[in-house]
Amino acid sequence: MLVDYHTHSQLCKHADGGLEEYIIHAAKMQLKEIGCSDHSPMPNEFDLPHRMDLQQFHTSYKPEVLALREKYKNTVAVKFAVEGDFFPGTEQWVKDFNSHEEFDYVIGSVHYLGEWGFDNPVFVHKYEERNIDEVYNQYYDHIKRSAAAKLFDIIGHCDLVKKFGHRPSKDMEEILREVFKVVKSADIAVEINTSGLRKPAKEVYPSEQILKILHEYRIPLTLGSDAHTPTDVGRDFDIAQQLVEKYGGGKISLFTKRQRTETRVS
């Protein structure tokens, strides 16, 4: 069975369509589960232009997801989740927030290196001012710390730093092994996120180099489209499914109330 565990909605101000449109598309794609995982509120107005605030979470997002879960329960299982951010200094806030809500799972993503929203097309010119190898090192250091912080169930788009096609000059194998050893010992899943295919990187997150390591370490996989428009739900899942067969023993993880189980993709 196929599920899409990474979707957004217009509440984050950079996606189209309401939650229900995503769910309807998931049903049309005959997915068994769809996870609503819009960008989580964060403290201190962190990145507020690209996410809901706390009040919207409580008055809009949470009640809507829970109502839709009930409404569609005989059609497609709706999961209540968020995509959280790893940003040094916010760990305790995120931990408290996540533990006060009955999420099915929490995706942990790195979208910021210091003040730089490195995956935001508005700031793509900053790559020209940076040493790409250092950007990669800093990025993977954050991924490693995001896993060690034990705030999240799933590492989101774990090589997002390649989004705009910038590539390191040296082989990253050793650093990647260190990073995913930490992910493994923290018992966190990693998503296969098909949105990279729709970006200049033109490949799934993570790369096959990383997928080989995940396979070797027996790290569980999840599936996500990172849809920011309803028709992207389940997009390119034929490709993702092949990768799950090749690197995940044909199995993906499912989450309910932050408990992980496993199912076959076909």
User: From Zn ion, Fe ion, none, which one binds at residue 159 (CB under 5 to 8 Å depending on kind)?
Assistant: none
For residue 109, state whether it binds Fe ion (rule: CB under 5 A): yes
- Tell me whether residue 104 or residue 226 sits nearer to Zn ion (CB atom): 226
Considering only 4, 33, 38, 83, the residue that binds Fe ion (CB under 5 A) is 83
Of 19, 143, 112, 111, the closest CA to residue 71 belongs to 19
- Tell me whether residue 85 or residue 226 sits nearer to Zn ion (CB atom): 226
Q: Which residues contact Zn ion by CB under 5 A? A: 226
- Tell me whether residue 124 or residue 245 sits nearer to Fe ion (CB atom): 124
Strands 77-85 and 251-256: unpaired
- Tell me whether residue 109 or residue 253 sits nearer to Fe ion (CB atom): 109
Task: Sort 74 into a burial class: Cβ within 10 Å, 0-12 / 13-18 / 19+.
Answer: exposed
Binding part of the chain for Fe ion, among 13-21, 76-84, 88-96, 127-135 by CB under 5 A, reads 76-84
For residue 226, state whether it binds Fe ion (rule: CB under 5 A): yes
Residue 169 CB coordination number (10 Å): 8
For 241, residues 6+ apart whose C-beta sits below 8 A from its C-beta are 2, 265, 266
Question: Which tokens is 219 given?
Answer: 């790290």
For 174, residues 6+ apart whose C-beta sits below 8 A from its C-beta are none
For residue 7, state whether it binds Fe ion (rule: CB under 5 A): no
Size of the site for Fe ion (CB under 5 A): 3
Residue 165 CB coordination number (10 Å): 12
**Footprint (CB under 5 A) of Fe ion, residues 194-213:** none
Binding site for Fe ion (CB under 5 A): 83, 109, 226
